[in-house]
Structure 1
Amino acid sequence: MSRLLPAWSDDDGAARVRALFAESFAAEPDGVWAAPGRVNVIGEHTDYNGGLCLPIALPHRTFVALRARPGRTARLVSAQQPGLREVDLDAAAPAGTAGAVEGWPAYAAGVAWALERDGLAPAGSLPGFDIAVDSCVPHGAGLSSSAALECAIAVALDDVAHLGLAADDAGRARLAAACVRAENEIAGAPTGGMDQAASLRARAGHALLLDCRDGAVEHVRLDLDAAGLALLVIDTRAPHRLVDGQYARRRAVCEDAARVLGVASLREVADAVMAGETTPDDVLARLSDEEQRRRVRHVESEIERVRFFVARLRDPDALRGWSLDKSAWALDASHESLREDYEVSSPELDLAVTAARAAGAHGARMTGGGFGGSAIALVDAERAEPVAVAVQEAFAGAGLRPPAFLLADAHGPAGRVDG
């Protein structure tokens, strides 16, 4: 398959960051840890609305080699960025303030900052550290490369500082919350909590049904191989940024709409519709602002699509025949809602989805925050290559950069990878 992006084995990834660490710091690390990127099967822009989403952890991971060091200075190198960076952990401060950490080190230093601010480690107790980073999670593709970095550092610091949080799901949920705070406050990206939950709390062979209202999770079996299917991820290579104001704008409009409706989050609206206490039309009639109506319509219907898709997966004949057709319908409807009502798609994403469907995909949708990034297509396994070729040809015909592709199956969570 053209431009297929491979996932590294744990041994390969560990060897890469150990070599970078030795070259940069002339020493051996205390260990190597890794965390996966994620692809969201369905449930977009629902996390910060208290809703439901269904991500899986990718086989593609970010690897970090870390060594604790005296003092409170973090020294950081990345195979993806030039130079060595230093951050004073005691001086790190939120984005937009005098002590803001610039660039990618904000995601790393922010985790240490959040662990202490959240009381998961006593203030000032975490050591300084040297860290080397390398990753096969595509950057800027909407596959949570930032969360993979945060979560890899979170489990590394948990290990070297003997916090013990990664030992069970409750502790991992607290680590995920700290990573979300790091991204929101130190990196300045107003994301929800889905990415970090997927990276830290996933289970191999399962999708993660995440309830973003209370953080509860359910592991839903997702065996694409058994159904003769594959999940083709299409990296459109259109720039994907969450800190340019568009994402924050969507979140603010949803929060404003919730206040108008007198609810804590739009999840309450979706639950009321599901319970038969109201209808979508009745809810929308209470909103005078057209932008709010479109955003609310997407969130309410997307939460219902997550429920619908999960119900299909619980069917004994999940992803076959009628159940497959219905699952594909949910993916297609999700994309249309994101394109029309939430307005977060892009010409590249629309083309990828349209071309994949025309080439035989059962269903396709954009995935991630939007404004560029990636799409997914549910395809028969033997059709993955022809579908990818068709998408590539469509991009060439439109004069666009060639897309890249990867195959996604449900892998396990962040952890130590060198024993």
Structure 2
Amino acid sequence: MSDAPADDAAAAGAAAAAFAERFGAAPEGVWAAPGRVNVIGEHTDYNGGSVLPVALPHTVRAAAARRDDGRLVLVSAQHPGEDADVAVADLTPGTPGGWAGYPAGIVEQVREAAAGGLSLLVDGDVPAGAGLSSSAALECAAALAVRDLLGLDWGPDDLVDVARRAENDFVGAPTGILDQSASVLCTAGHALHLDTRDRSWDQVPLDLEAAGLALLVVDSGTTHSHAESGYGERRRQCEEAARRLGVEYLCDLPGTDALAALDDGTDEGAVLLRRARHVVTEDARVAEVVDLLRAGADPRETGPVLTAGHASLRDDFEVSVPELDAVVEAALAAGAYGARMVGGGFGGSAVALVDAGAVEAVSAAVAERAGAPRSYVVVPAAGARRLR
């Protein structure tokens, strides 16, 4: 992933040219969807809570066209030699696998409308496995292409649902709606405040540049996969904790007082207490950050809330790894106002809120002390869109 993402015109041109070279004809269109970084609100989305992501300026692009032979042909510029060519009628969860499963999971849901077949080439600069939702970006770009090419009546919520089903049911990763919602709904210059319970949302202005600040994303160099990591186990633990407490979702609880009932003297009860405590306190941290931003507070005041979120993810939810802890500690020691891991955990990236003039110094300190291979400034960007 480069520090400077490709602009829309250049990105569309490159994807269209690659498609034409591979398929011998121009695509019918090029679509893009961004990755995301979550300002605050990890593992609350499938627990009925709120989240506050921003879209990255980095995107996955999908160049696509209809076919007439009933085949789905998928090509990725980032995965040479891993093309997929399968009959639309033969699509089934897990086949094709790998990167191709994400767009295939979109087409599988509309196999009758897509019976003629599709050619799709993807390109992009959102890094895989870095906790920045490259899979959701891929799904949402493919969903936009499929919608437009097949004339489907999908609004924003439909796009989110179709993309999430591809990840949940076809690929087998039990994610919530955070990643896909951010990719579809985010707008430039804002954070998306999404209530995952009733799916209401609004845009919260986030002009860090005006405050002399920057949001620095640091890739720890340790990759993860929702389908293979402990993500599913954490989700099952949350569901069990909610069942024992008699609520549908953990975020239905008004606070942490009721959580004591989970501690029944067993190791399992102690684990469930920690998992539930993270979820309930994280949901409160989202509300605190949103309230600060809406009140016009100096965004620096959100820094300690971000850091508290990392401690909770590390100690109560236990999804951080030593590499992420080292990044956070190095960033804070170098003057960051707040820092925390982002994404589902078990690897990926961290985010730090820093003075704009301190970006280079903090980046250097993190590289030296934590060995993190790359860092870059994120500006809240636009959501999924057609490029041409």
The CA deviation string for residues 12-60 of structure 1, in whole angstroms up to 9 with x for no partner, is 2112211211121111100111000000000001111111110001000
> In the aligned structure 2, how far is the partner of 1:33 from the partner of 1:131?
11
Confirm or deny that 1:302 pairs with 2:296.
no
> In the aligned structure 2, how far is the partner of 1:4 from the partner of 1:29?
26
Does the Cα contact within 8 Å between 2:31 and 2:387 map onto a contact in 1?
yes
> In the aligned structure 2, how far is the partner of 1:220 from the partner of 1:162?
32
Q: What is the deviation of 1:104? A: 1.1
Confirm or deny that 1:21 pairs with 2:10.
no
Aligned to 1:181: 165
TM-score (norm 1): 0.89
Does the Cα contact within 8 Å between 1:101 and 1:186 map onto a contact in 2?
no
Alignment partner for residue 140 of structure 2, among 122, 128, 151?
Answer: 151
> In the aligned structure 1, how far is the partner of 2:74 from the partner of 2:350?
32
SS of aligned partner of 1:332: helix
The CA deviation string for residues 374-403 of structure 1, in whole angstroms up to 9 with x for no partner, is 00000011111110000001134xxxxx42
SS of aligned partner of 1:82: coil
SS of aligned partner of 1:81: coil
User: What residue identity is the alignment partner of 1:337?
Assistant: S
The CA deviation string for residues 49-92 of structure 1, in whole angstroms up to 9 with x for no partner, is 11111000100000111011114311111111122321222222
Q: 5+ unaligned residues in a row in structure 2: which ranges?
A: none
> In the aligned structure 1, how far is the partner of 2:158 from the partner of 2:152?
11
Q: What is the deviation of 1:415? A: 1.1
> In the aligned structure 1, how far is the partner of 2:202 from the partner of 2:139?
23
Moved over 4 A (4+): none
Q: What is the deviation of 1:237? A: 1.1
> In the aligned structure 1, how far is the partner of 2:258 from the partner of 2:384?
43
> In the aligned structure 1, how far is the partner of 2:209 from the partner of 2:237?
40
User: What residue identity is the alignment partner of 2:351?
Assistant: I
Alignment partner for residue 57 of structure 1, among 55, 58, 61?
Answer: 55
Does the Cα contact within 8 Å between 2:262 and 2:270 map onto a contact in 1?
no
> In the aligned structure 2, how far is the partner of 1:62 from the partner of 1:50?
28
The CA deviation string for residues 290-319 of structure 1, in whole angstroms up to 9 with x for no partner, is 110000000000000000000000112342
Does the Cα contact within 8 Å between 1:257 and 1:287 map onto a contact in 2?
no
1:10-409 equivalent positions in 2, closer than 5 A: 10-83=8-81, 84-95=83-94, 100-114=95-109, 116=110, 124-126=112-114, 127-165=116-154, 171-269=155-253, 272-273=254-255, 280-288=256-264, 289-319=269-299, 324-325=300-301, 327-396=302-371, 402-409=372-379
Does the Cα contact within 8 Å between 1:57 and 1:412 map onto a contact in 2?
yes
TM-score (norm 2): 0.95
Q: Percent identity?
A: 48
User: What residue identity is the alignment partner of 1:183?
Assistant: E
Confirm or deny that 1:415 pairs with 2:375.
no
Could you say if the C-alpha distance between residues 361 and 4 of structure 1 is closer, same or farther in structure 2, counting changes exceeding 3 Å?
farther
SS of aligned partner of 2:271: helix
User: What residue identity is the alignment partner of 1:137?
Assistant: V
Does the Cα contact within 8 Å between 2:17 and 2:26 map onto a contact in 1?
no
How many residue pairs match? The answer is 382
Does the Cα contact within 8 Å between 2:241 and 2:262 map onto a contact in 1?
no
Q: What is the deviation of 1:204? A: 1.1
Q: What is the deviation of 1:287? A: 4.1
> In the aligned structure 1, how far is the partner of 2:104 from the partner of 2:364?
41
User: What residue identity is the alignment partner of 1:239?
Assistant: T
Q: What is the deviation of 1:286? A: 4.0
The CA deviation string for residues 229-260 of structure 1, in whole angstroms up to 9 with x for no partner, is 10000011102111224000000000011111
User: What residue identity is the alignment partner of 2:195?
Assistant: D
The CA deviation string for residues 347-385 of structure 1, in whole angstroms up to 9 with x for no partner, is 110010000001111100000011010000000111111
Does the Cα contact within 8 Å between 1:260 and 1:287 map onto a contact in 2?
no
Does the Cα contact within 8 Å between 1:76 and 1:130 map onto a contact in 2?
yes
User: What residue identity is the alignment partner of 1:368?
Assistant: G
Does the Cα contact within 8 Å between 2:186 and 2:381 map onto a contact in 1?
yes
Does the Cα contact within 8 Å between 1:284 and 1:297 map onto a contact in 2?
no
> In the aligned structure 1, how far is the partner of 2:304 from the partner of 2:185?
28
> In the aligned structure 2, how far is the partner of 1:144 from the partner of 1:223?
22
Q: What is the deviation of 1:333? A: 0.3
User: What residue identity is the alignment partner of 1:81?
Assistant: H
> In the aligned structure 2, how far is the partner of 1:316 from the partner of 1:142?
29
Q: What is the deviation of 1:201? A: 0.8
SS of aligned partner of 2:242: helix
SS of aligned partner of 1:412: coil
Q: What is the deviation of 1:164? A: 4.0
Q: What is the deviation of 1:4? A: 5.6
Q: What is the deviation of 1:209? A: 0.6
User: What residue identity is the alignment partner of 1:103?
Assistant: G
SS of aligned partner of 1:371: coil
> In the aligned structure 1, how far is the partner of 2:271 from the partner of 2:197?
24
Q: What is the deviation of 1:407? A: 1.2
SS of aligned partner of 2:350: strand
> In the aligned structure 1, how far is the partner of 2:87 from the partner of 2:177?
27
User: What residue identity is the alignment partner of 1:200?
Assistant: V
> In the aligned structure 1, how far is the partner of 2:35 from the partner of 2:288?
25
Q: What is the deviation of 1:281? A: 3.2
> In the aligned structure 2, how far is the partner of 1:336 from the partner of 1:90?
48
User: What residue identity is the alignment partner of 1:147?
Assistant: A
SS of aligned partner of 1:378: strand
> In the aligned structure 1, how far is the partner of 2:93 from the partner of 2:73?
19
Aligned to 1:399: none
